[in-house]
Amino acid sequence: MGKLKQAALWTAMLALVLKLSGLVRESIVGTKFGVSNETDAYFLSFAFITLVVAMISTGFNNVFLPMYIKNRKSGEAGDHNANALLNWTMIIFVGISFIGWFGAPYFLPLMYVKMKAETALIAIPMTQIFFAFMTVIALSGLLDSYLQSRRIFVPSQMSKLLATFFSVVFAILFSDQWGIFSLVYGFIFGTILGVIVQLYYLVRSDYKWRLEFKMDIKFRNAFLLLIVPSLLNSVVGQVNMFVNKAFASGTTEGAVTYLNNASLIVSIPNAIYATTLAAIIFTLMSEQTEERAKFKETFFRGMEISLVTLLPIAAGLLVIGDSVIAFIYEHGKFTPDDTHKTHIALMLYLPFIVFQGMQLMLSKSMYARGKTAVVFRISVTTILINFLSNWLLVDRFGYPALAIATSVVSIYFFAVSMVVVYKDLGKEELARFGKMVPQVVIPTVIMGAVVNAAKAFAGLGSFGPIVQLATLVPIGVVVYVVMLFVFYRAGFRRFVGLLKRG
C-alpha cells in the first residue's frame, strides 16, 4: 500500500506537469496560429488520437487489467495470454493505420459534413499523418495497461509528457517551416520516445515478451465477451465528441477552437485524477472484488476524493475562469474577443468537472466486477441525448449549446450510474455518500463567495490575470482547507493522512 501511495504522489506530480505542458502547447497554438481554419483542422484531426487513446486506456484497460490480475493470482499462464493479446492488437492497428491513411480523404468529409473547404485542405493530410503512426500511439496505450498491472505508474506519465513536451518544442522551433504540422511531428516524435521509456520499464519487471498468438480458450472467450461492450462504451464518449465537433464546424469560424480550449481547461482536473488516483483505486478494486467490505471502503474513498478535490475546482473556475483563459491563451493572435468567447463555453462546461469525475469512479467500480455490458447500456443512450441536445439548441444558441449538451450528458450519466451501483452496494452506502455531500458543498460555497468578494469588492479583479491568479487562488485554497476542516473533519483527516503516508 505504501508503494501505491508513493506512486500516486509521483503520478499526480507528473500528471500536473503533463497538463501544464498541454496548456503551454495550446497557448503556443493560440500565439502562433490564433483562432483560424488551421487550428480548427488541428483539433478535428487530433480527435482521432483521443479516440484511440480512449479505446485503449478505457476500453482495453478496463477489461484487461481485472482479467490479467485474476489470471496471475490463480497461477495461470498470464504472460502467455498477455503476449498473444498484445501481438494480435498490434496487427489490428497496423490494418487500422492503412485504412486511415487511404480512407481519410473520403471519411473525413462525411464525418464533418459542414467543414469549410479551407479547413478540410489541412485536416485531411494531417489526419493521414496521424494514422500513419497510429500503431505506435496504440502501443503506448497498451504498454500503460501492462505496466499498471504490475503497479508501475510513473513511466506512463513520463511517456505522455514526452509527447506533449515535443509538440511544444517542435511548434517553437519549426512552426515557420512546417506551420501547424510542426505540432503533429512533435507529438509523434515524443510518442516514439515515450514508447521506448515504457518498454524499458516493462522489460525491467518480470514481464517476458514472446512472439506468440495462441491464447487459452477460456481467457480468449472471456476477453472477447467483455471487450466488445467495453470498447463500444469507450467509443460512445468519442462519438459524442465527434457529434459536437461536427455541429461546431458548421457554426462560426473558430468555434471548434473555442470549445477545445475551454474543454481542455475543464478536463485538467479529471485527467490528473483519472491517470493517478482513479487508476490506483481501480487497481485496488480489481484486487478486492472477492472482499466486499474492502471493496466498499475503497470505492467510498474514491468518491470522497473525487468530490473533495473536483467540486472546489469547479467553483474556483466559476469565479476566476476568465483570468485563467486570459493567462493561458491571450497572447499573439489570440485576442480578448477570443478569450470572451472561450469563457462562455467554459462556464457552461463546469458541471462536467464534478459529475464526470464521480461518474468515472462509478464506472470503474462496475468494470472491476466485470459489468462492462451494464456500463455500455447506460453510456450508449448518451449519444441520443447529446445529439438531440445539439440539434435542438445549436441553431438557436450557436457553439455554446455544445457545451451545454456535454454538461447535460455528464449529469445524466452520473445519475443513472448512481442508481445502478448503489442498488448493488446497498442503502447504507448511499446514505454514507449522501451525508458526505453537504459537508463538502458548504466549504465550497463559502470559498467561492470569499474569492468572488475579493475579486469584485476588494478590487483584485481590476488587475491583470497573473496578479489575480497569484492572489485569488491562494485565498481560495486557504479558505477551502479551513472550512473543510470545520465542516468535514473526518474527510479532511483522511485526505491529509493519505498525503502524509504517501
- pLDDT attached to residue 478: 94
- pLDDT attached to residue 501: 46
pLDDT tens by residue, 265-308: 887 777 666 555 555 565 555 555 566 677 777 778 878 888 88
What average pLDDT does the segment 353-366 reach? 81
Greater confidence (237 vs 432) lies with: 432
pLDDT tens by residue, 416-451: 888 888 888 888 888 988 999 999 999 999 999 999
Q: Is the pLDDT of residue 189 over 50?
A: yes
pLDDT tens by residue, 380-414: 787 788 778 777 777 677 778 888 888 888 898 88
Is 342:262 a contact under the CB 8 Å cutoff? yes
Query: Which of the residue ranges 117-126, 179-188, 433-442, 454-463 would you say has the lowest mean pLDDT?
Result: 454-463
What average pLDDT does the segment 82-94 reach? 86
What average pLDDT does the segment 235-248 reach? 65
Sign of CA dihedral 326, 332, 335, 341: negative
Query: Which of the residue ranges 75-84, 116-125, 180-189, 448-457 would you say has the lowest mean pLDDT?
Result: 75-84
- pLDDT attached to residue 113: 73
User: What is the pLDDT of the chain when averaged over all its residues?
Assistant: 79
Cβ atoms within 10 A of the Cβ of 384, count? 9
- pLDDT attached to residue 330: 79
Burial annotation 458-474 (CB, 10 A radius, 16+ → b, else e): eebbeeebeebbebbee
Task: Quote the Cα angle for 298-300-304, to 5°.
Answer: 120
Q: What is the dihedral of CA 406, 16, 23, 331, to 10 degrees?
A: 130
> Closest by alpha carbon to 230, among 75, 54, 469?
54
The span from the CA of 441 to the CA of 488, in Å, is: 10
- pLDDT attached to residue 390: 73
Is 39:180 a contact under the CB 8 Å cutoff? yes
Element (H, E) at 411: helix 400-425
- pLDDT attached to residue 275: 53
What average pLDDT does the segment 226-231 reach? 72
Q: Is the pLDDT of residue 87 over 80?
A: yes
Query: Which of the residue ranges 81-95, 317-331, 364-378, 456-470 would you say has the lowest mean pLDDT?
Result: 364-378
- pLDDT attached to residue 248: 66
What average pLDDT does the segment 457-465 reach? 79
pLDDT tens by residue, 4-45: 555 555 555 666 666 666 667 777 777 777 777 788 888 888
Q: Residue 1 — pLDDT band, cuts 50, 70, 90? A: very low
Is 414:402 a contact under the CB 8 Å cutoff? no
Q: Based on DSSP, count helices (H) and strands (E) in the chain, helices before strands.
A: 18, 0
Q: Is the pLDDT of residue 344 over 80?
A: yes
C-alpha cell, 410: 455528464
